[in-house]
Amino acid sequence: MDVGIIGLGQSGKTTVFNAVTRGKAQTGYGGGHEPNIGVVKVPDRRLDVLTAMYHPKKTTPAEIRYIDFPAAGANFGKGEGPGGQFLGEVRKADALIHVLRAFADPSVPHPEGRVDPARDAATMDLELAFADLALIERRLDRLTAELRSTKAGERGQGERERALLERLKAALEAETPLRAVPLSEEEHKLVSGYRFLTLKPLLLLLNAGEEDVSRREDLEEALRARYPQPHTEVAALCGKLEMELLDLSAEEAAEYRADLGLGEETGLDRAIRLSYDLLGLISFLTSGPDECRAWTVEKGATAPRAAGKIHSDLERGFIRAEVVRYEDLVACGSEAEAKKRGLLRTEGKSYVVQDGDVLHILFNV
Ligand SMILES: Nc1nc2c(ncn2[C@@H]2O[C@H](COP(=O)(O)OP(=O)(O)OP(=O)(O)O)[C@@H](O)[C@H]2O)c(=O)[nH]1
Ligand SMILES: [Mg+2]
């Protein structure tokens, strides 16, 4: 699971990235840099319990990769995209965090002259929509040409794709991001290859100044009212403070957090939880003598899609899944016992995977 961090120059992207990944990337460039990549292992107590049960050779937690992109170029707002030349890389991300500057530090110039997170959010929305529109138009042109040279009886698939793309185009032209367009499972499959930017789940992350720590919820509320769409969330955090707290011992940091009214949850934990819950991700588990492992999948994913996270062969050749709830498995002490008590279910292709499912995939390729 890759989460791309995007935003205007000097909005605090790298600061937030450091806070989330315990990274030490350099901040305060003001002129772009290579993307920073950091891997965060998702803490999951369930995995510890399964490890104690199975004594596997290996335990592998779910991981989220955060990619901190450099700022948009000077031509931002003119079709240059959120990371200028890195647009293609941003497309590969599974979800986006848009860091919005909300701190007022006169020593850090704002590229637009004035701090206004709602305006910056709207600018980026427009920019991402432009990029998606351009992609749709190119594809529509090609598809139209292809359809012309296809026999009348064989145009079904192409016609369906064209109709869908026309619908998505109309949505974008009406300033509706694609994540807000209801899509069937089939349609989702059709468009997933395009890696549309406005289809990705979006977390708008307000980077608040130290002086606004106690106002975080007000800041969130004000922006959230503008973003009622699905797969869109708003959160506020104080990136610089969170980053600085990483240098303290756990005890000192906890004390400091309490004094400042920061809440117990660290920036790291909060961002992971938000990346998960708010971006619509859940974990399922696999267990056995070789490996106990947690995997990340989108909420609502079917069993074959979840299987595809493990290996594409498992999705392609999916036959069925054996499923047991984590709690049931632990209560029973073993899969054999769970089976005896009728808690090990067999599920087919349309089964929607739940957070905490322990899965065995049966497949044939
Ligand atoms: N006062 C204050 N300064 C901050 C805060 N967050 C970031 N900064 C400062 O703003 C400057 C830019 O921060 P970065 O994290 O490098 O911003 P960026 O978005 O990665 O910048 P580019 O990659 O150059 O676009 C640095 O000098 C940070 O120390 C904050 O919450 N408060
Ligand atoms: Mg940066």
The 8-class DSSP code of residue 326 comes to H
Quick one: 289 exposed, middle or buried, by C-beta within 10 A (0-12, 13-18, 19+)?
exposed
Of 70-74, 262-266, 299-303, the poorest mean pLDDT is in 70-74
* Mean pLDDT on 140-148: 94
CB count in 10 Å sphere of residue 84: 17
Token pair, residue 207, equals 């980077």
Distance in angstroms (rounded) separating the CA atoms of residues 190 and 303:
18
pLDDT class of 246 with cuts at 50, 70, 90 = confident
DSSP string, 158-181: HHHHHHHHHHHHHHHHTT--GGGS
pLDDT class of 138 with cuts at 50, 70, 90 = very high
Residues of the domain holding 337? 300-363
Same structural domain, 314 and 182? no
Residue 295 lies in a domain: no
The CB of 37 under 6 Å from ligand 1? The reply is no
Inter-residue contact 257 to 264 (CB < 8 Å): yes
The answer, yes or no, to whether residue 199 has pLDDT greater than 60, is: yes
User: 144 CA to middle of ligand 2, Å?
Assistant: 41
Inter-residue contact 19 to 237 (CB < 8 Å): yes
Q: What local confidence, expressed as pLDDT, does residue 256 receive?
A: 86
Distance in angstroms (rounded) separating the CA atoms of residues 359 and 350:
15
Distance of CA 121 to the CA centre of its chain: 17
**Domain boundary residue, one of 171, 197, 223:** 197
pTM: 0.84
Domains in the chain, number: 3
The CB of 305 under 6 Å from ligand 1? The reply is no
Of these ranges, 1-5, 31-35, 260-264, 322-326, the one predicted with the greatest mean pLDDT is 322-326
Residue 285 lies in a domain: no
The CB of 12 under 6 Å from ligand 1? The reply is yes
Q: What local confidence, expressed as pLDDT, does residue 79 receive?
A: 54
Helix (H) / strand (E) element for 313: namely helix 312-316
The CB of 101 under 6 Å from ligand 1? The reply is no
pLDDT class of 111 with cuts at 50, 70, 90 = confident
Q: What local confidence, expressed as pLDDT, does residue 353 receive?
A: 97
Give the start-end residues of each E strand in the chain: 2-6, 36-41, 58-60, 63-68, 95-101, 202-207, 232-237, 281-286, 291-298, 318-325, 345-347, 357-363
**Domain boundary residue, one of 247, 278, 309:** 278
Distance set, CA 154 to CA 143, 158, 165 (Å): 13, 8, 19
Same structural domain, 218 and 106? yes
Distance in angstroms (rounded) separating the CA atoms of residues 305 and 283:
13
User: For residue 269, which amino acid is it?
Assistant: D
Q: In this prediction, what percent of the chain has a pLDDT beyond 70?
A: 93
Encode pLDDT of 253-279 as tens digits: 888 888 887 777 766 677 677 777 766
Inter-residue contact 205 to 97 (CB < 8 Å): yes
Residue 79 lies in a domain: yes
Nearest atom in ligand 1 to the alpha carbon of residue 208 is 31
| Mean model confidence pLDDT for the chain | 88
Of 93-97, 212-216, 292-296, the poorest mean pLDDT is in 212-216
pLDDT class of 293 with cuts at 50, 70, 90 = very high
Please give the residue that has the higher pLDDT: either 36 or 111.
36
Residue 32 lies in a domain: yes
The CB of 71 under 6 Å from ligand 1? The reply is yes
Q: What local confidence, expressed as pLDDT, does residue 357 receive?
A: 97
Residue 124 lies in a domain: no
User: 32 CA to middle of ligand 2, Å?
Assistant: 6
CATH code for the domain in which residue 254 is found: 3.40.50.300
Distance set, CA 112 to CA 74, 104, 109, 116, 236 (Å): 11, 13, 9, 9, 21
Longest Cα–Cα distance of the chain, Å, equals 72
Same structural domain, 171 and 208? no
